Amino acid sequence: MFSLSARLSLVCAAAAVGSLLVGCGSTAIHRAPVEDRGAQSKKPSAAVVDAAAQAAKLLPGYENAGKPGYYSVKPGDHLIRIGLEHGQSYKDIARWSNIDNPDRIEVGQVLRIVPPVNEGVVAKPVVISKVAPVAMAPLPAASASKPAPTPVAAGSTPASGADDEPGFIWPNNGTVLATFDEVKNKGVDIAGAAGDPVLAAADGRVVYAGAGLRGYGNLVILKHNNTYLTAYAHNQKLLIKEDQSVKKGQKIAEMGSTDSDQVKLHFEVRRQGKPVDPSKYLPAR
């Protein structure tokens, strides 16, 4: 038989072994599972994440960036201003660029600013003779039977092409307050009283009528042909609607002071979107 001291020693030894076994079991239970470390190692690399982010940022029309006839939206741009500066209707640009809401464009988005081929000028078909080609013969001399050119009456203008100058008139007879400056004033400012008539400077179509362009107040933009636009700013009242056709001399607005410190008409002539000196296109006073 073991003595009392020996029995106590055996009990302590057994307790120590039990604690060791429990500790080992605890360690096995709380050890990080292998599959967790594997999941951690499967996270995409920074390069993959960046490439995915760049792909997500691709905006409509990105494949046309830098090509002729396209424009990349810059900070502060508005579709109306883009149209004005490229000689186009903002609605046309929206349609060509598949934009549903013209008020929502994003920096970096690429817009088409020239009409697609199917909206361009259609060339007249060339009639090809079915007769077999023959050797060229000398041109016949002019004869009396040749039709004479149609005379043009004095003071009249022959029919002009779509891109010719429309023959502008002054939109108002007030005094010129400020002349054209390519940097400071992209048109001429004309004095007047509130409610004075603002006239269309030439036949055209209304491509914008509203107050959506900062600095212009109530604004009208007319497109006269594929080359020329005119703009009429700071009106107190607009008398026409977008897409309406107007005639030279037609009253399109009433002079006012919207977005201006005084009553005046700011008048611009744009040639292919570039502002030009209106005085070079208007009759001398």
Domains, the chain: 62-117 (3.10.350.10), 176-280 (2.70.70.10)
How would residue 159 be classed by pLDDT, with cut points 50, 70 and 90? very low
Backbone Cα Rg of the chain: 39
pLDDT at res. 13: 55
Beta bridge partners of 246: 204
Rounded Cα distance between 87 and 97, Å, is 16
The residue type found at 110 is V
Instruction: Evaluate whether 234 touches 257 at the Cβ level (below 8 Å).
Output: yes
Q: Which residue has the higher pLDDT, 102 or 3?
A: 102
pLDDT in tens, 65-80: 999 999 999 999 999 9
Instruction: Evaluate whether 242 touches 221 at the Cβ level (below 8 Å).
Output: no
pLDDT at res. 81: 93
Is the pLDDT at 251 greater than 50? The verdict is: yes
pLDDT at res. 254: 98
> What are 107's two structure tokens?
């920096």
Token match 């008398």: residue?
A: 239
Largest Cα separation within the chain, whole Å, is: 156
3-state secondary structure labels for all residues of 231-285: EEEEECEECCCCCCEECCCCEEEECECCCCCCCEEEEEEEECCEEECHHHCCCCC
Token match 């039990």: residue?
A: 18
Q: Is 205 helix (H, G, I), strand (E, B) or coil?
A: strand
Nearest to 168 by CA among 240, 224, 206: 224
Q: What is the rounded average pLDDT for all residues in the chain? A: 77
Token match 């008539």: residue?
A: 197
Rounded Cα distance between 274 and 87, Å, is 8
pLDDT at res. 119: 65
Report the pLDDT averaged over residues 28-32: 46
Question: Residue 32 gets which letter from DSSP?
Answer: P
pLDDT at res. 14: 54
pLDDT at res. 285: 87
